[in-house]
Amino acid sequence: MVAPIRVAPSAANRALNLLRTVQYTHPPSCPCHSNPNHHHHHRTPTLADHVRRHMSTPIDPSRQKEYAFEMAASSIRFGPSATKEVGMDFANMKAKRVCVVTDKNVSQLDAMKQAIEGLSREGIEFTVFDNVRIEPKDYSIKEAIAFAKPYNPDAFLAVGGGSVIDTAKLMNLYTVYPDAEFLDFVNAPLGKGRPVDRKLKPLVAVPTTAGTGSETTGTAIFDLVSKKAKTGIAHRNLKPTLGICDPLNTRTMPSAVHAASGLDVLFHSLESWTAIPYNERTPRPTNPINRPAYQGANPISDIFSLQALRSTIQYLPRAVKDPEDFEAQSQMLLAATLAGVGFGNAGVHLCHGMSYPIASQNPGYKHAGYAVDDPVIPHGVSVAVTAPAVFRFTAASNPDRHLAAAEAFGIDISNVKRESVGEVLSEAIVKFLAELGDQPLGLKGLGFKSSDVESLVEGTIPQKRVLMLAPNLNEELEAEKAELRGLLEQSMDYS
User: Which of 168, 224, 293, 334 contacts a copy of itself by CB under 8 A?
Assistant: 334
> In angstroms, rounded to a whole number, what is the distance separating the alpha carbons of residues 172 and 155?
8
Q: Is 338 in the site for a copy of itself (CB under 8 A)?
A: yes
Q: Which is nearer to a copy of itself, 162 or 202 (CB)?
A: 202
Q: Is 76 in the site for a copy of itself (CB under 8 A)?
A: yes
Shortest separation between residue 459's beta carbon and a copy of itself, angstroms:
35
- With CA atoms as reference, report the closest residue to 386 among 302, 460, 315: 460
Q: Interior CA angle at 23 toward 17 and 27, to 5°?
A: 135
Shortest separation between residue 328's beta carbon and a copy of itself, angstroms:
10
Q: Are 331 and 314 in contact (CB under 8 A)?
A: yes
Q: Is 67 in the site for a copy of itself (CB under 8 A)?
A: yes
Residues 307-326: x/- map of binding to a copy of itself (CB under 8 A)?
Answer: x--xx--------------x
- With CA atoms as reference, report the closest residue to 159 among 219, 200, 98: 98
Q: Which is nearer to a copy of itself, 133 or 239 (CB)?
A: 239
The CA–CA distances, whole Å, from 421 to 193, 219, 399, 401, 490 equal 37, 32, 7, 10, 17
Q: Is 46 in the site for a copy of itself (CB under 8 A)?
A: no
Quick one: which segment of 285-293, 360-368, 376-384, 394-402 binds a copy of itself (CB under 8 A)? 285-293
Shortest separation between residue 82's beta carbon and a copy of itself, angstroms:
4
User: Please, what's the largest Cα pairwise distance for the chain?
Assistant: 84
Contacts of residue 27, defined as CB under 8 A and 6 or more positions apart, other chains included, come to: 37, 38, 39, 44
Q: Are 157 and 86 in contact (CB under 8 A)?
A: yes
DSSP tag of 109 = S
Q: Is 62 in the site for a copy of itself (CB under 8 A)?
A: no
- H or E element at residue 206: strand 203-207
Q: Are 30 and 36 in contact (CB under 8 A)?
A: yes
Shortest separation between residue 419's beta carbon and a copy of itself, angstroms:
27
Q: Is 16 in the site for a copy of itself (CB under 8 A)?
A: no
Q: Is 13 in the site for a copy of itself (CB under 8 A)?
A: no
Q: Is 217 in the site for a copy of itself (CB under 8 A)?
A: no
Q: Is 68 in the site for a copy of itself (CB under 8 A)?
A: yes
User: Which of 72, 413, 430, 441 contacts a copy of itself by CB under 8 A?
Assistant: 72
Shortest separation between residue 303's beta carbon and a copy of itself, angstroms:
5
User: Which of 36, 38, 50, 69 contacts a copy of itself by CB under 8 A?
Assistant: 69
Amino acid occupying residue 157:
L
DSSP tag of 50 = H
Q: Is 304 in the site for a copy of itself (CB under 8 A)?
A: yes
Q: How many residues does the chain have?
A: 495
- With CA atoms as reference, report the closest residue to 135 among 206, 218, 217, 222: 222
Q: Is 78 in the site for a copy of itself (CB under 8 A)?
A: yes
Give residues in contact with a copy of itself (CB under 8 A).
20-21, 23-25, 29, 31-33, 66-82, 85, 88-89, 92, 197, 247-248, 279, 287-289, 298-300, 303-304, 307, 310-311, 326-327, 330-331, 334-335, 338
